[in-house]
Amino acid sequence: MLSSMIEEIIMLESSVFLNNQTQMVKIPPKVRFDKNIKKVAIRKVGNECIISPVNHTWDSFFLSDERVDDDFLAERETNNQPERTLR
């Protein structure tokens, strides 16, 4: 299914530089985005910056082979909402 879309994980090194007070990253040809990608979302997680095409930011999460255990949230608290009155 969707997991067949992931072919391999590639990790390369590149350089970071400043251009007119903007930090830039040179993306090597082997890992460049498709030519139709015009906008990206950038997530900062600790020391990492993760660049994803806009509207595709969760693909790596949902296409991952990692799954939660069967007992994940088995003892989850019920989210009881207090009774509310309309004014």
The predicted-structure confidence for 16-74, as pLDDT tens digits, reads as follows: 999 999 999 999 999 999 998 889 989 898 999 988 888 766 666 676 777 778 887 77
Q: For residue 55, tell me if it sits in a domain.
A: yes
Q: For residue 49, tell me if it sits in a domain.
A: yes
Q: For residue 80, tell me if it sits in a domain.
A: no
Q: For residue 78, tell me if it sits in a domain.
A: no
Q: For residue 77, tell me if it sits in a domain.
A: no
Q: For residue 84, tell me if it sits in a domain.
A: no
Which residue range(s) make up the domain with 39?
A: 32-64
pLDDT confidence of residue 1: 42
Q: For residue 57, tell me if it sits in a domain.
A: yes
Q: For residue 12, tell me if it sits in a domain.
A: no
CA geometry: angle at 14 spanning 11 and 16, to 5°? 135
**Which ranges of the chain does DSSP label H, i.e. alpha helix?**
59-62
Number of domains into which the chain is organized:
1
Q: Where are the beta strands (DSSP E) in the chain?
A: 16-19, 22-25, 40-45, 48-53
